[in-house]
């Protein structure tokens, strides 16, 4: 019998999901941005149903490693109590004048979220020292050199609140159209480990 081919790696990452209230409010703001007369046609807008706050990206992951990741994330989530953060403001990567990514920001003045990021990255073996800017990606530019996002960044967007109550281990599936994110396991912050994972 021929040996089974190795399983295709999964593109895994850990994120905080956006709440329904914030998603609804942000979707209204994004609709207003898209309808602006000077909105650049090179923006490719993300699906609001897929908005999330990425904490750690592991990239290509052997499916056989997922149970170990789940166990490690259970421990990381158990050590953190739920909290809330203020959201608001628009920004761009790598710069406002040559933007490739348009984002909506999350404030973390007490670095509580950064603490969660460090715990999660240690748990999954990601680089703890890698840069982190809390944000939701709203759009990506098709333009090779980016676009001038300064007029758009001047647009006021209402502040909101992000409830950091759970972590989700996702698998990202690429293909035609936007990426599809499949939740593999969910972890409630501060919950006893015996009841943490909802698979």
Domain boundaries, the chain: 10-198
Cis peptide before 94 (omega within 30 of 0): yes
Q: Return the DSSP state at 133.
A: -
Six token digits for residue 52: 């999330």
pTM, rounded to two decimals: 0.89
The CATH number given to 10-198 is: 3.90.1140.10
The whole-number pLDDT of residue 194 equals 56
Q: Per-residue pLDDT tens for 83-123?
A: 999 999 999 999 999 999 999 999 999 999 999 999 999 99
Q: pLDDT by residue for the chain (199 residues), tens digit each?
A: 555 556 789 999 999 999 999 999 999 999 999 998 878 899 999 999 999 999 999 989 999 999 999 999 999 999 999 999 999 999 999 999 999 999 999 999 999 999 999 999 999 999 999 999 999 999 999 999 999 999 999 998 989 999 999 999 999 987 666 678 999 999 999 988 654 444 4
1-5 contacts at long range (C-beta below 8 A, 24 or more positions apart): none
Q: Which residue(s) pair with 168 in the sheet?
A: 15, 186
């Amino acid at each position: 019998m021929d040996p089974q081919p190795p399983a295709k790696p999964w593109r895994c990452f850990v994120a905080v999901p956006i709440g329904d209230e914030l998603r609804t409010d942000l979707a209204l703001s994004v609709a207003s941005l898209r309808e602006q007369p000077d909105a650049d046609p090179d923006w490719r807008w993300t699906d609001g149903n897929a908005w999330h706050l990425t904490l750690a990206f592991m990239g290509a992951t052997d499916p056989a490693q997922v149970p170990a990741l789940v166990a490690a994330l259970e421990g990381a989530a158990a050590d953190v109590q739920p909290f809330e953060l203020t959201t608001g403001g628009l920004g761009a990567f790598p710069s406002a004048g040559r933007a490739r990514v348009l984002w909506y920001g999350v404030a973390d003045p007490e670095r509580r979220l950064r603490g969660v990021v460090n715990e999660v990255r240690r748990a999954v073996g990601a680089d703890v020292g890698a840069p982190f800017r809390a944000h939701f990606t709203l759009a990506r530019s098709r333009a090779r050199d980016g676009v001038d996002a300064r007029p758009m960044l001047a647009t006021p967007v209402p502040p909101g609140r992000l409830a950091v109550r759970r972590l989700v281990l996702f698998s990202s599936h690429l293909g035609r159209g936007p990426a599809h994110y499949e939740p593999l396991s969910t972890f409630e912050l501060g919950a006893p480990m015996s009841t943490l994972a909802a698979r």
